Structure 1
Amino acid sequence: MIEIGILKAGYGLDHNGFIVSDVSKDKIDDVYVTCIHESIAIRFNGDIDEVLRRTLNRLTTASGEDIKAFTQSFARKLIRTYYSMVMVRSQIWTTRLHEQAEVILQHFPEKESVIRTLLHWIDEPPTDREAVYELFKFEGEWAGANFLNEAKTHG
């Protein structure tokens, strides 16, 4: 199966099939994908358990500005992870967070308040460590527990 049909100039695949370029994979934009395969989702965001653990550990000792930075970073990660869970089903490829959020909500409408909160936190990060920790712990654990099953769902 062909996973990626066309990549813009400056992008390619490494020997493991990861998209590579001179920018981080979080910054890749406007990549045209002809067939989105589950392995892409898993390679991009299958590390949610590890990232969640690391983020929660950092949050417990973080100060004001660090809390904001960790919140913004993990909020992006969580949205991208949720999106990776449904991108095979939707066959929609986008790196724009707001577009990813809309795709997520087509499949998980019950996550609307969480997604809206995460988007808000990216723009205006809170300093309430406990609120951030609780939401990240609950939603991160949910994503970790459901990621592989959801990412492999094709229809």
Structure 2
Amino acid sequence: MAETLPSRGLDSQGHIAREGSLARVADVFRPVVVAARDRIPGVFGARLHSAYLYGSIPRGAAREGRSDLDLLVVLREEPTDTDRADGRALDEALDKEFPQIDGGGTLLVGHARVLSDLERHDLGWFLACLCTPLLGEDLAEHLPRYRPDSLLARETNGDLALLLPRWRDRIASAGDSEEALRPLVRFMSRRLVRTAFTLVMPRWNGWTSDLHEMAEAFGGYYAQRAAQLRAAAVLGYEPSGDRAVLSSYVDDLGPWLAEEYARVHGVKADRPDEP
């Protein structure tokens, strides 16, 4: 019998394949990655367990001057306010020094949290499948292989209903300038497209991080909302500072998607440390 070839982001056994690697980092972004790798140990010292890249740069899909640098730093203990301030300072320094990136963000998490049962199908999956090892021991070795099933869908994006009130507050306090609204359009567009994709992911039976592919996969099952998702995918890459778009997200698309998600997959398990 012929071997089953990997497809739709899965390996030959049907598990989600790790999507990035250092080999895929384009030459123009290599100095940024090297600088991040060299500086992270000095920032976090003995508290550092490991560090990872994620996003478009390790996927080889980054655009010079348009893409940001995304880092996940795992500390031996839960991060403190000082750690978070240090992470922001690192992001700002790299962004200022390297014009080939447009901003950056360092996520800080504790070692025990990554490996906890509660986070196994959310943060654990994120590290194991969407993050590329940069420094230290790769915690993916201690995590299971993941399939694009309903459990994964529920635990990754089954909290949209909880997020929408916070989104409304952020929109209300952002002001009316395009400069202030554009990052919100980018962030919320991406989150809604990813949530819509994971809604259909078990039926589509695969994984992708490309927003356009996500929107097309979703549209194959929800034709009545396909145009909205295609438009959101475009804005996830090329955002405009349009308050009307944000209003449509929190008043129409978001509530519908949250309700349908809960109906199909259920609601994400409560996090005791979150409101």
Aligned pair partner of 1:130 in 239, 244, 247: 244
Letter in 2 for 1:15: S
Letter in 2 for 1:101: A
Question: Contact 1:83–1:104 at 8 Å: present in 2 too?
Answer: yes
Q: 1 or 2, which has the higher strand percentage?
A: 2
- Matched residue pairs, number? 142
Pairwise CA RMSD: 2.9
Alignment of 1:100 with 2:203, yes or no, is no
Q: Report the more deviating stretch, 107-116 or 126-135.
A: 126-135
What 5-or-longer segments of structure 2 have no aligned partner? 1-13, 22-51, 53-113, 133-144, 267-275
Q: Tell me the SS of whatever aligns to 1:107.
A: coil
Q: Tell me the SS of whatever aligns to 2:220.
A: helix
Q: Residues 106 and 59 from structure 1, CA distance in 2 versus in 1: closer, same or farther, beyond 3 angstroms?
A: same
Aligned pair partner of 2:162 in 47, 50, 67: 50
- Deviations along 1:52-81, one digit per CA (max 9) or x if unpaired, are 221111011213222111111011110111
Question: 1:83: which partner in 2?
Answer: 197
TM-score (norm 2): 0.45
Q: Residues 82 and 6 from structure 1, CA distance in 2 versus in 1: closer, same or farther, beyond 3 angstroms?
A: closer
What 5-or-longer segments of structure 1 have no aligned partner? none
**TM-superposed deviation, 1:18:** 2.9
Residue identity over aligned pairs, in percent, reads 22
Separation in 1, partners of 2:230, 2:15? 32
Q: Residues 95 and 128 from structure 1, CA distance in 2 versus in 1: closer, same or farther, beyond 3 angstroms?
A: closer
The residue correspondences of 1:1-155 to structure 2 (distance < 5 A) are: 5=15, 8=18, 14-16=115-117, 17-18=120-121, 20=123, 28=130, 35-63=147-175, 64=177, 65-151=179-265
Separation in 2, partners of 1:19, 1:67? 28
Q: 1 or 2, which has the higher helix percentage?
A: 1
Q: Report the more deviating stretch, 62-71 or 33-42.
A: 33-42
TM-score (norm 1): 0.76
Larger gyration radius, structure 1 or structure 2: 2
Q: Residues 113 and 7 from structure 1, CA distance in 2 versus in 1: closer, same or farther, beyond 3 angstroms?
A: closer
**Where do 4+ consecutive residues of structure 1 move more than 6 Å?**
none
Separation in 2, partners of 1:29, 1:95? 12
